[in-house]
Amino acid sequence: MSEAGKVRMVDITGKEEVYREATAVGAIKLRRETIEKIRGGEVPKGDVVSVAKTAAILAVKRTWEIIPLCHPIPITSVQVDVELLDEEAKVTVNVKTTARTGVEMEALTGVSVALLTIWDMVKALEKDERGQYPQTEIRSIRVIEKVKKKE
Amino acid sequence: MSEAGKVRMVDITGKEEVYREATAVGAIKLRRETIEKIRGGEVPKGDVVSVAKTAAILAVKRTWEIIPLCHPIPITSVQVDVELLDEEAKVTVNVKTTARTGVEMEALTGVSVALLTIWDMVKALEKDERGQYPQTEIRSIRVIEKVKKKE
Amino acid sequence: MSEAGKVRMVDITGKEEVYREATAVGAIKLRRETIEKIRGGEVPKGDVVSVAKTAAILAVKRTWEIIPLCHPIPITSVQVDVELLDEEAKVTVNVKTTARTGVEMEALTGVSVALLTIWDMVKALEKDERGQYPQTEIRSIRVIEKVKKKE
Amino acid sequence: MSEAGKVRMVDITGKEEVYREATAVGAIKLRRETIEKIRGGEVPKGDVVSVAKTAAILAVKRTWEIIPLCHPIPITSVQVDVELLDEEAKVTVNVKTTARTGVEMEALTGVSVALLTIWDMVKALEKDERGQYPQTEIRSIRVIEKVKKKE
Amino acid sequence: MSEAGKVRMVDITGKEEVYREATAVGAIKLRRETIEKIRGGEVPKGDVVSVAKTAAILAVKRTWEIIPLCHPIPITSVQVDVELLDEEAKVTVNVKTTARTGVEMEALTGVSVALLTIWDMVKALEKDERGQYPQTEIRSIRVIEKVKKKE
Amino acid sequence: MSEAGKVRMVDITGKEEVYREATAVGAIKLRRETIEKIRGGEVPKGDVVSVAKTAAILAVKRTWEIIPLCHPIPITSVQVDVELLDEEAKVTVNVKTTARTGVEMEALTGVSVALLTIWDMVKALEKDERGQYPQTEIRSIRVIEKVKKKE
Interface test with C, best of F45, F50, F62, F121 (most C CBs within 10 A): F50
Among candidates F2, F13, F64 on the partner chain, residue whose Cβ is nearest the Cβ of A96: F13
At E150 the pLDDT is 76
Contact flag A74-F74 (C-beta cutoff 8 Å): yes
pLDDT-derived band at E74, boundaries 50, 70, 90: very high
Q: What percent of chain C has pLDDT above 90?
A: 96
Predicted local confidence at residue F97, as pLDDT? 98
| Nearest residue, CB atoms, B57 vs list C2, C9, C12 | C9
3-state secondary structure chain F: CCCCCCECCCCCCCCCCEEEEEEEEEEEECCHHHHHHHHHCCCCCECHHHHHHHHHHHHHHCHHHHCCCCCCCCCCEEEEEEEECCCEEEEEEEEEEEECCCCHHHHHHHHHHHHHHHHHHCHHHHCCCCCCCCCCEEEEEEEEEEEEECC
Per-residue pLDDT, A4: 72
Is the separation of the CB atoms in B52 and B91 below 8 Å?
Answer: yes
Summarize pLDDT for D33-58 with one digit per residue, the tens: 999 999 999 999 999 999 999 999 99
- How big is the A-B interface in CB pairs under 8 Å? 146
SS (HEC) of chain A? CCCCCCECCCCCCCCCCEEEEEEEEEEEECCHHHHHHHHHCCCCCECHHHHHHHHHHHHHHCHHHHCCCCCCCCCCEEEEEEEECCCEEEEEEEEEEEECCCCHHHHHHHHHHHHHHHHHHCHHHHCCCCCCCCCCEEEEEEEEEEEEECC
The answer to whether domain F26-149 has CATH 3.30.70.640 is yes
In 10 A of CB C122, how many CB atoms? 24
Predicted confidence at residue F64, as pLDDT, reads 98
Choose the closest CB to F47 out of C47, C55, C58: C47
3.30.70.640, 3.10.580.10, 3.90.79.10, 1.20.1280.290: CATH of E24-149: 3.30.70.640
**Cα dihedral E14→E15→E18→E19 (10° resolution):** -140
**Residue-level pLDDT at C25:** 98
Q: Phi and psi for D101 in degrees, rounded to 5?
A: -150, 165
Residues, chain A:
151
Chain A residues in contact with E54 by the CB 8 A cut-off are 50-51, 54-55
- Residue C120's pLDDT is what? 98
Q: How many CB pairs under 8 A join D and F?
A: 57
Bridge partners (DSSP) of residue E28 are E89, E138
**E92 in Cβ contact with E73 (< 8 Å):** no
The span from the CA of E64 to the CA of E85, in Å, is 32
DSSP calls for B48-88: HHHHHHHHHHHHHHTHHHHSTTPPP----EEEEEEEE-SSE
F23-F25-F28 Cα angle (round to 5): 160
Q: What is the pLDDT of residue E67?
A: 98
Using a CB-CB cut-off of 8 Å, the residues of chain E touching A51 are 50, 54
Residues E76-85: pLDDT tens digits? 999 999 999 9
Contacting residues of C for B84, CB less than 8 Å apart? 1
Asked if residue F2 has pLDDT above 80, the reply is: no
* Chains adjacent to C (≥3 CB pairs closer than 8 angstroms): B, D, E, F
Beta carbons of B127 and B66 less than 8 angstroms apart: no
For the sheet with D137-149, list strands across it: C77-84, C88-99, C18-29, C137-149, D137-149, D18-29, D88-99, D77-84
pLDDT, tens digit (0-9, with 9 covering 90-100), for F58-113 = 999 999 999 999 999 999 999 999 999 999 999 999 999 999 999 999 999 999 99
Query: Does domain C27-149 correspond to CATH entry 3.30.360.10?
Result: no
pLDDT over 80 (residue C2): no
Going edge to edge, which strands form the sheet with E88-99? E77-84, E88-99, E18-29, E137-149, F137-149, F18-29, F88-99, F77-84
Please check whether residue C111 is in contact with residue C140, taking contact to mean a CB–CB distance below 8 angstroms: no
CATH architecture of the region B28-149: 2-Layer Sandwich (3.30)
Percent share of chain D, pLDDT over 70: 97
Judge contact between B121 and B45, C-beta under 8 A.
yes
Cβ atoms within 10 Å of D147's Cβ, excluding its own = 14
Quote the pLDDT of residue A2.
39
ipTM of the complex as predicted = 0.97
CATH number of A35-149: 3.30.70.640
The residues of A carrying an active-site annotation are 120
Mutate which of F35, F50, F61 to disrupt the D interface (most D C-beta within 10 Å)? F61
Measured in Å, how far apart are chain D's first and last C-alpha atoms? 43
Report DSSP letters for C55-116, one per residue. Answer: HHHHHHHTHHHHSTTPPP----EEEEEEEE-SSEEEEEEEEEEEESS--HHHHHHHHHHHHH
Which of D2, D7, D61, D97 is the mutation pick for testing F, counting most F CBs within 10 A?
D7
Per-chain mean pLDDT for chain F: 96
The span from the CA of C53 to the CA of E16, in Å, is: 27
Tell me the pLDDT tens digit for each residue of B6-30. Answer: 999 999 999 999 999 999 999 999 9
pLDDT of amino acid F3: 59
pLDDT, tens only, E94-111 = 999 999 999 999 999 999
CB F143 within 8 A of CB F24: yes
CA distance to partner chain A, nearest, from residue F68 (Å): 6
pLDDT band at B4 (very low <50, low <70, confident <90, very high): confident
Minimal Cβ distance to D67: which of C47, C116, C145: C116
- The answer, yes or no, to whether residue E33 has pLDDT greater than 60, is yes
Structure confidence at residue C1 as a pLDDT band (50, 70, 90): very low
**Which among A4, A11, A74 is the nearest to D77, CB-wise?**
A11
| C-alpha distance from residue A25 to each of A89, A112, B5, E112 (Å) | 11, 9, 25, 34
Share of chain B above pLDDT 70, in %: 97
Question: Within an 8 Å CB–CB cutoff, is residue E85 touching chain F?
Answer: no
Which residues of B, range 116-145, sit inside 8 Å of A by Cβ? 116-117, 119-121, 123, 131-133, 136-143, 145
Which H/E stretch holds residue E26?
A: strand E18-29
**What is the Rg, in whole angstroms, of the alpha carbon atoms belonging to chain E?**
18
Q: Dihedral through CA F83, CA E119, CA A49, CA B26, nearest 10?
A: -30
Would you say residue C6 has pLDDT above 90? Answer: yes
D chain contacts of residue F53, beta-carbon cutoff 8 Å: 5, 7
Question: In the predicted model, is pLDDT for residue F141 greater than 50?
Answer: yes
What element of type H or E holds D89? strand D88-99
As a whole number, the mean pLDDT across chain B is 96
CA atoms within 13 A on the CB side of D6: 17
Q: What are phi and psi of E21, to 5 degrees?
A: -150, 145
Assess whether pLDDT exceeds 50 at residue D71.
Answer: yes
Q: Which chains share 3+ C-beta pairs under 8 angstroms with D?
A: A, B, C, F
Buried b (16+ CB within 10 A) or exposed e, D27-43: bbbbeeebbebbeeeeb
**Is D69 within any annotated ligand binding site?**
yes
> Using the 8-state DSSP alphabet, how is residue D46 labeled?
B
Phi-psi category of A141—alpha, beta or left, where left has phi over 0 and alpha has psi -120 to 50? beta
| Residue spans per domain, chain C | 27-149
Catalytic residues of D: 120
Quote the Cα angle for E18-E19-E25, to 5°. Answer: 135
What's the CA gap between D92 and F91, in Å, rounded? 42
Short-list D13, F44, F81, F45, CA closest to C46:
F81
- CA distances (Å), origin D58, targets C32, D4, D13: 34, 35, 26
Residue ranges of chain A with pLDDT lower than 70? 1-3, 151
β B137-149/B18-29 pair status: antiparallel
Q: Is E115's pLDDT higher than 90?
A: yes
Residue E117 has pLDDT above 50, yes or no: yes
Share of chain D above pLDDT 90, in %: 96
Mean of the pLDDT values across residues B40-61?
97
Neighbouring chains to A with at least 3 Cβ pairs closer than 8 Å = B, D, E, F
Contact state of D76 with A8 under an 8 Å Cβ cutoff: no
Q: Measured between CB atoms, does C146 come within 8 Å of chain D? A: yes
Separation of alpha carbons D75 and D60, rounded Å: 8
Confidence band of B75 (pLDDT split at 50, 70, 90): very high
A71 marked ligand binding residue = yes
Mean pLDDT of E67-86: 97
Residue B103 has pLDDT above 90, yes or no: yes
